[in-house]
Amino acid sequence: MTEGMERGGGIALWRQIAEQIRTEIATGVYAVGDRLPPEADLAARFGVNRHTLRRAMAALAEADVVRIDQGRGTFVQAGRLSYPIRRRTRFSEIVSAQAREPSGRLIGHRLEVADEAVATRLKVAAGTPVHRVESLSVADGVPISLAEHWIPAERFPRLVEVYAETGSFTKVLEAHGVTDYTRRSTRVTARVADALEGQRLGLPPGSAVLVTENIDVDTAGTPVQTSRTLFAGERVELVVEQGDDPA
Amino acid sequence: MTEGMERGGGIALWRQIAEQIRTEIATGVYAVGDRLPPEADLAARFGVNRHTLRRAMAALAEADVVRIDQGRGTFVQAGRLSYPIRRRTRFSEIVSAQAREPSGRLIGHRLEVADEAVATRLKVAAGTPVHRVESLSVADGVPISLAEHWIPAERFPRLVEVYAETGSFTKVLEAHGVTDYTRRSTRVTARVADALEGQRLGLPPGSAVLVTENIDVDTAGTPVQTSRTLFAGERVELVVEQGDDPA
DNA sequence: TCAATTGGTCTATACATCTATACCACTGGA
DNA sequence: TCCAGTGGTATAGATGTATAGACCAATTGA
């Protein structure tokens, strides 16, 4: 075989090939919209039968990484980002799994006191100091979501500096001893973005956004953050997977 | 299935199970020397047939992660030998400190004249007679390293007989009045072992070895030996401790 | 010595993976 | 309109993976 595919090692060739192509897309060997080489060429390159290569392509198409057009070719897809709603939800993992490059940006931060709604969600007394953070999540340079987070200030004093360094909420929580967290609940609605929101998400006026409200809890069940997130409707689809504990 | 094994996903169950158990050993769920649960129990835990579980175990045994004893059980095998690179380096001390049984074996000896490279390292004139000794170091019966040593012949005439008696280079040097020696320098590279080297180290073809070149000096700073040592990559990790005089 | 426990081997079956070959369907351009 | 290039489908066989059940062999302790 032309490339370093491992046979009989317990990992199917089609999966190894799919991983390889995913990586090449993620690292820019093939850009969004590019046509991949014909199946026959790719099969020759990996030293496998065309059926095996097609199995790999089918997996990539299933994950919306590529789009297959009979007679035309196979193209790198830039379709809507599929955003699964699960108990374990990590923006960076979700984006990476779809062969795109995640990043995060802090837009604003203010220390305020929790109003009734936020306090209830965080299970603290109204008036408790909380961080209010606005952040923008980006995939391949395209804004995906705009979020407002509320986080108990006493428990996470170093929020701003860690987020600024890493661009990751997971890292912020880790830095304060929260090794794992899960989503307790998610509510989804939709509306039209206002001017400021549209501008931040890079959307034309009048664009629809998905609005989610959710609560993350640590392993002990204590809320660690609640947030309201706006997703650009034309770039994202939220996927609720049944069979997972809905909580 | 009792655990989160993925079926039909292109990764064989036996491989997923092997990975899982490997992780549990690495994270201390099972310690070195522990007996793993019986195959029937593990098969039940992972929700697979015992044959499948055994395939996973065979892979772990092949990689020396576990040792399988019929009638007794399956035991966590000793991890990689940690080989610190320090000024004072004594194979027997290092191995003993890790509760393993050291031994050494002389493979070959020849009296030859120093070529340019060896002469430079030993600070003698090119053409000076030197012992060239090949030795194998073993811990708990498992080959760890294969070394070529070059030693000035005039200063250490009784090298072969003393080494054959004691299996220790330290003793050889002592017998010639060198009460102490230290390492002056160590260079480390890596490559694939050739057939003979692999056979002597008991490694499968294509295995990686660490290659170190070093010089030992006596208390006066005079080189007493230089050597090139091959370590079995899968059985040893070299540890460079910072803060020590690197020389 | 015996019985329980543990790993080792064998046979048979089902399904997944991979190969080989052939032919069909769609697209775009000559 | 035709044809070269592309993906889509079908069939058959070889090999890898997983299951099921039965029985053998070594170890250990009663």
B242 CB less than 7 Å from any atom of strand C? no
Distances, alpha carbon B79 to alpha carbons A187, B31, B33, B218, in Å? 49, 10, 10, 33
Look at B11 and A14 and tell me if their CB atoms are within 8 Å.
no
- Please state, in angstroms and as integers, the Cα–Cα distance from residue A188 to each residue in A118, A138, A228, A230, B76, following that order: 17, 20, 10, 10, 49
Query: Within 7 Å: CB of A138 and strand C?
Result: no
Could you tell me what percent of chain B has a pLDDT over 70?
A: 83
* Protein residue with the closest CA to the C1' atom of nucleotide C26: A71
- Angle among Cα A96, A98, A102 to the nearest 5 degrees reads 35
**Average model confidence (pLDDT) across chain B:** 80
| Domain ranges within chain B, ordered by starting residue | 13-76, 81-240
Query: For residue B40, what pLDDT is reported?
Result: 92
Residue A167 near residue A103 (C-beta atoms within 8 A): yes
In the chain, the amino acid numbered B189 is T
Identify the residue with better confidence: B198 or A35: A35
Q: Is the pLDDT of residue B189 over 70?
A: yes
CA B38/CA B73 separation, integer angstroms? 7
The pLDDT value recorded for residue A43 is 92
Higher pLDDT, B192 or A17: A17
Q: How confident is the model at residue B20 (pLDDT cuts 50, 70, 90)?
A: confident
Nearest to A15 among B11, B14, B18 (CB): B11
Which of left, alpha, beta for B137 (phi over 0: left; psi -120 to 50: alpha)?
Answer: beta
The pair of structure tokens assigned to A238 is: 């939220």
The answer to whether residues B218 and B181 touch, using CB atoms and an 8 Å cutoff, is yes
Q: Mean pLDDT, 10 residues at a time, over chain A (247 residues)?
A: 71 88 74 87 92 91 82 79 69 64 75 89 90 83 82 87 74 82 74 80 69 83 88 68 39
| Whole-number pLDDT of residue A99 | 53
**A72 beta carbon to strand C: under 7 Å:** yes
Contacts of B10 in chain A (CB under 8 A): 11-12, 14-15, 18, 59
CA distance B242 to chain A (A): 26
CA–CA gap between residue B13 and residue B1 (Å, rounded): 11
Residue of chain B whose Cα is closest to the Cα of A52:
B10
Residues from B in contact with A at Cβ < 8 Å? 9-12, 14-15, 18, 59
Assess whether pLDDT exceeds 70 at residue B116: yes
Beta bridge partners of A66: A76
Q: Output b/e per residue, B59-95; b: 16+ Cβ within 10 A.
A: bbeeeebbebeeeeebbbbbeebebebbeebebbebb
Chain B residues in contact with A19 (beta carbon < 8 A): none
Note whether A13-76 and A81-240 share their fold. no
The nearest CA of chain A is from the CA of B57 a distance in Å of: 13
**What digits encode the pLDDT tens for the residues B50-71?**
999 999 998 888 877 888 988 8
Residue B228: alpha-carbon gap to chain centroid: 14
Confidence bin at B179 (pLDDT 50/70/90):
confident
Q: Residue A86 is which amino acid?
A: R
User: Quick one: pLDDT band at residue B114, thresholds 50, 70, 90?
Assistant: very high
CB A158 within 8 Å of CB A150: no
CA distance B56 to chain A (A): 10
Sign of CA dihedral A21, A4, B232, B210: negative
pLDDT tier for residue B244 given thresholds of 50, 70 and 90:
very low
Task: Give helix then strand counts, H and E, for chain B.
Answer: 8, 10
- The answer to whether B53 CB sits below 7 Å from nucleic acid chain C is no
Q: Which fold has domain B13-76?
A: Arc Repressor Mutant, subunit A (1.10.10)
Q: What is the DSSP code (8-state) at residue B8?
A: S
Q: What is the CATH number of domain B81-240?
A: 3.40.1410.10
Give yes or no for a contact between A239 and A79, defined as CB atoms under 8 angstroms apart. Answer: no
Predicted confidence at residue A117, as pLDDT, reads 85
Count of Cβ atoms closer than 10 Å to residue A93 Cβ: 13
Alpha helices per DSSP H over B124-183? 159-166, 169-175
Nearest CA in chain A to B52: A10
Q: Given the cut 0.90, state whether the ipTM is greater than it.
A: no
Q: In a 3-state reduction of DSSP, which class is residue A16?
A: helix
Reduced to 3 states (helix: H, G, I; strand: E, B; else coil), residue A108 is: strand
